[in-house]
Structure 1
Amino acid sequence: MYRFRFGIRSKLLLLSLFLFTIPWLGYQYVWELESYLRIGQEQTMEGTARAVATALHERPTLFDSQSSYLQDVKPGTDLYAHRIIDPIRLDGRLDDWADYAELRLAYAEMQLIEQSTAYQPASLQFEHMVGQYNQYLYAMFKVQDETLVFRPENSLRVDRNDHLLIAVTDPAGHFRRYIVAPQGSG
């Protein structure tokens, strides 16, 4: 019977092999942990993407700002600022608005607040449009009136002549009124 004896070299070789397996086992552990975390992160991102897709699917007009806003607009009471391509020259002429003629709204008897005589369509009517260019807001009013009463040049009163009263609510919710009382045509 032959008995195998371990010498110092064999023992040292066996110990070295054991010590070399520790870093290899550590590397395998880190690799497995990274794979596990990557799979978990993929599943979390997939779940988040599904939740966002479901939320967006339920709101088809979310990215269509015109259609989502126009649902709340009441014809005859609310103005909608259409996007315009070029800035408007503030010269009192309507040439710059010619490309947007189909977007203008016409008003007549139903929008009058006060009237002293029977309404005649040729006596008073107006068209308007509001346009937005970048951060600027433009408004166009084309008024046809058979009896023009312009504001006198030195007058501070705006209620004894033809005038336009524009009321708006700003983004902060504050109510603002503007009165335009022209001293001449345009």
Structure 2
Amino acid sequence: MKQALRHFIESFQFLTPEEVTIIVDNTVLRNPKKGEILLREGDVSRECYAVVKGCIREYIIKDGVEKTVSFFVEGDPVNSFSSEVTGCPSKSYFECLEDCIVTVGNDSLIDDMIVRVPRLEKLIRREVEKEAGKMQDRMSSFMISTPEERFVTLINNQPNLIHRVPQVLIASYIGVTPESYSRIKKRVFAKIKEKN
């Protein structure tokens, strides 16, 4: 697991080899298995994660039906910011869709790491800002786009997801039934084939 973490951390080019070693040596890793729930609705988030390997789904339950909100893959931070910052119960679930390797952090671990590697504070702040921007863009786009446009955005931004995630979950993510998703997928790939 540490080797996978080292490879992940080395992708942040501005870190020195010494800083990479400090981070790798002091990072807490977990290996949650497929189907494991990292956070449940009603729990207060006390930890944040980053995906080193695997895929995690965020979903809510509305009227007894699971609604997929997000997918997180390698390099993505996973956190219920509203729950962690305010101490309010989470409205979401975070479920591992594959066997995963994740970093596990909390405020004291992050503070300790920043003391050891001061430049890490800039990276963390940038990642939080980037995630907030992505979340805002996703929400805006979702409100004004059709399910077909949502699917096109998904395959443009995360093309490997359609091979890693069950179709029923992608259908839930774009807001349609599995039957409608099959039609949309067929139509979109036919258009792509025509262009090539």
Whether these two folds match at TM > 0.5 is no
| TM-score, normalised with respect to structure 2 | 0.22
More relative contact order in 1 or in 2 (CA 8 Å, sep 6+)?
2
| TM-score, normalised with respect to structure 1 | 0.22
Q: Larger Rg: 1 or 2?
A: 1
